[in-house]
Amino acid sequence: MTYDTNRIEAIIDAHRHRPGATLPILHDIQEAVGYVPEESIPIIADALNLSRAEIYGAVTYYSDFRMQPAGRHIVQVCRGEACQAKGGCDLEEHAKRSLGVDFHETTRDREITLEPVFCLGNCACSPSMRVGDEIFGRVDEVTFDEVIRDLKSNRGAN
């Protein structure tokens, strides 16, 4: 186990009094650990007086949550229509080809996990991609490669 269970308990304690606390707890755990560990599910369920199935159901319903560690960076490429209208499909293909992975997969060096996203609200400067909290617009193959190169070379980033 590479995470601190006390940390998880602290997150749960910070939110348990709030009505409908499941999502805020899951977000914070994922932020702290990088994913939602299976072992945390009964702890959350217990604290919120819900069943494990209800928590597991929520974790698996929302595409933001993952139960396995991702690569060091998550790169999201937008698949929305506004991006498609400006060559988004070519960008998707380029991303998959250049990284050698499909959507929802991680590169062998564990650096990049590639995910699709349905709209970043950046439609006026499409096509778009997101890394962490940063959104990139007017992305072509050259800028995509630059972003990836920066991510891989700058090991301390994020």
CB 55 within 8 A of CB 41: yes
CB 18 within 8 A of CB 40: no
Nearest to other proteins of 45, 111 (CB atom): 45
For other proteins, the binding residues in 129-148 under the rule CB under 8 A are 130, 133-138
42 binding other proteins? (CB under 8 A): no
By DSSP bridging, strand 73-78 and strand 112-117 are parallel
Residue corresponding to tokens 């999201």: 76
Q: Interface with other proteins by CB under 8 A: which range of 54-62, 94-102, 104-112, 148-156?
A: 54-62
Residue corresponding to tokens 């919120």: 48
x-or-dash string of contact with other proteins, 68-87, rule CB under 8 A: ------------xxxxxxx-
Maximal C-alpha separation, the chain: 51
Q: Which residues bind other proteins (CB under 8 A)?
A: 19-24, 26-27, 48, 50, 54, 57-58, 61-65, 80-86, 117-126, 128, 130, 133-138
